[in-house]
Amino acid sequence: MIKEFQLRVAPQVAYNEENIKEYLAREEGLDARTLNQVRVLKRSIDARQRNILVNLKVRAYINEIPHDNSFIKTEYPDVSHSPRVIVVGAGPGGLFAALKLVELGLCPIVLERGKDVRERKKDLAQISRTHKVDEESNYCFGEGGAGAYSDGKLYTRSKKRGSVDKILNVFCQHGASTAILADVHPHIGTDKLPKVIENMRNTIIKSGGEVHFHTKMTSLILDGNKVVGVEAVSTFESNTPIEKTFRGPVILATGHSARDIYRYLAEAEIEMEAKGIAVGVRLEHPSELIDQIQYHNKNGRGKYLPAAEYSFVTQVGGRGVYSFCMCPGGFVIPAATGPAQIVTNGMSPANRGTKWSNSGMVVQINPEDIEGDNLLRMMTFQEQLERDTWQQGNMKQTAPAQRMADFVNNRLSYDLPSTSYAPGLISSPLHFWMPKFITSRLQSAFKTFGKQAHGFLTNEATLIASETRTSSPVRILRDRETLMHVRLQGLFPCAEGAGYSGGIVSAGIDGERCAEMANAYVNSL
């Protein structure tokens, strides 16, 4: 017999299958010897009270052998002789688009300006060591995109449960733990993601698709109002850059940091609009302190609970101020994509075990907040702030930083707490040189958050400047039904860089949708 149960149990029961079996036997009057397996289907922590409980939905196999169907498998046929579709960018948007094309019987040709996910790692280490950013291989560019060396949080505000489940199941098929199907806040971890991404690439190649690293799209090939391919520069097969042409409809999934692509699209008068962004700082606390606050316990999270998360949001002066991409037990990282920039972001390993917890603390900025009507003005604003931050950081990746309470009280910090940010910090009056529009709102919001969570507003926490790459600064205009560009047939602006998603899962969902629409387009030709 297979039976499902809703349980509300202590943390030491919730994270151990044997303990769940014992609990079921005791509380439900079952014979423990007949319980062959217990699978956790959903898990969420209720930390509202001092006594923390975990809600579980479990499936018990009683005198029953479980089938190996812990995730739903997708079949990937041989597509080597099928019509080709060009996918530009191997971030989550591009990779899920490519896999979906295979599933639908089309042959994806993936172009990625950066290196494969393993090679890329060496360039990330160099940023902290030498303060030099490789413009083609960094925390945003390379196989896996901005999502590869990230926190690997897989939750999304998308209400399309079926689409979210599909993305999570594809991750499981490629090596992610099936725990992501159960946890309400699923998380893979930066140490586990590269293998999963590698497996996704192998599926594409085994099915007959192609993946070209070191291959940067430079322009679209147009035939009237139809996109029929791309021009690219490649060092994939030789160290000397070679100009290459790839023919086929194009899914453009180049992410929010491909500023050369935005400049090209603007110059080529391909329809886009300026889009709101959110900008601010990374805020880093000792993770123990966040655990104490969130679990209402001076001893922190104890042996069984995961590092605590938080989420804050408020309105100040008509603009949203909120925590973004919270990384419990993680690292603050240097996410610049070029010289003379400092950009902060966060990531964490699967065990979320570092001494620090961080999040972006950002202020919403709308196109009308920035003077002029230039399409790229939000991007220019980001660039200026990143350059200013670099100058304040002594023209290296050393990030300007300030203690949190000092910032709120307009005081310079004489020293700084220890940090996970590997290139190092330099004390700096952020309240003084960052745009007032941002600092005044952050100061006010921090006071509100400090009241909501006692101990959160503290000089033990550090603000690290500047968090600027939270989303795309433009939206490439596409038709709502066909997902095709509003004027150019055969061009599918996709995922975060096109302004239609934010985060790994939503980029994956948009990638799949673009592939479906590209399939409909190919079939109509």
Ligand X SMILES: Cc1cc2nc3c(=O)[nH]c(=O)nc-3n(C[C@H](O)[C@H](O)[C@H](O)COP(=O)(O)OP(=O)(O)OC[C@H]3O[C@@H](n4cnc5c(N)ncnc54)[C@H](O)[C@@H]3O)c2cc1C
Which positions lie near ligand X, rule CB under 6 A? 88-94, 111-114, 139-142, 145-147, 150-153, 216-217, 253-256, 258, 261, 325, 333, 335, 345-347, 495-497, 502-505, 507
What is the smallest separation between the CB atom of 443 and ligand X, expressed in angstroms? 26
The residue among 183 and 406 lying less far from ligand X, judged by its C-beta, is 183
What is the smallest separation between the CB atom of 301 and ligand X, expressed in angstroms? 20
- Is residue 161 classed exposed, middle or buried when 0-12, 13-18 and 19+ CB atoms within 10 A define those classes? exposed
What is the smallest separation between the CB atom of 229 and ligand X, expressed in angstroms? 13
The residue among 114 and 229 lying less far from ligand X, judged by its C-beta, is 114
- Is residue 100 classed exposed, middle or buried when 0-12, 13-18 and 19+ CB atoms within 10 A define those classes? buried
The residue among 11 and 280 lying less far from ligand X, judged by its C-beta, is 280
What is the smallest separation between the CB atom of 5 and ligand X, expressed in angstroms? 31
The residue among 255 and 280 lying less far from ligand X, judged by its C-beta, is 255
Look-up of token digits 């700096």: 428
From the list 283, 293, 366, the residue with the least C-alpha distance to 325 is: 283
What is the smallest separation between the CB atom of 207 and ligand X, expressed in angstroms? 20
What is the smallest separation between the CB atom of 293 and ligand X, expressed in angstroms? 21
The residue among 153 and 301 lying less far from ligand X, judged by its C-beta, is 153
Asked if residue 420 has a cis previous peptide bond (ω within 30° of 0), the answer is no
What is the smallest separation between the CB atom of 167 and ligand X, expressed in angstroms? 10
The residue among 20 and 146 lying less far from ligand X, judged by its C-beta, is 146
- Cα–Cα distance, 21 to 35 (Å, whole number): 7
What is the smallest separation between the CB atom of 187 and ligand X, expressed in angstroms? 7
**DSSP label of 205:** H
- Cα–Cα distance, 131 to 119 (Å, whole number): 18
Amino acid at position 1, single letter = M
- Cα–Cα distance, 228 to 142 (Å, whole number): 25
- Cα–Cα distance, 260 to 351 (Å, whole number): 36
Strand 425-427 with 462-467, pairing: unpaired
CA distances from 157 to 169, 283, 509, 513 (A): 18, 23, 12, 17
Tokens linked to 455:
């101990």
- Cα–Cα distance, 241 to 216 (Å, whole number): 10
What's the per-residue H, E or C state across 116-166? CHHHHHHHHHHHHHHCCCECCECCCCCCCHHHCCCCCECCCCCCCHHHHHH
The residue among 103 and 134 lying less far from ligand X, judged by its C-beta, is 134
The residue among 246 and 449 lying less far from ligand X, judged by its C-beta, is 246
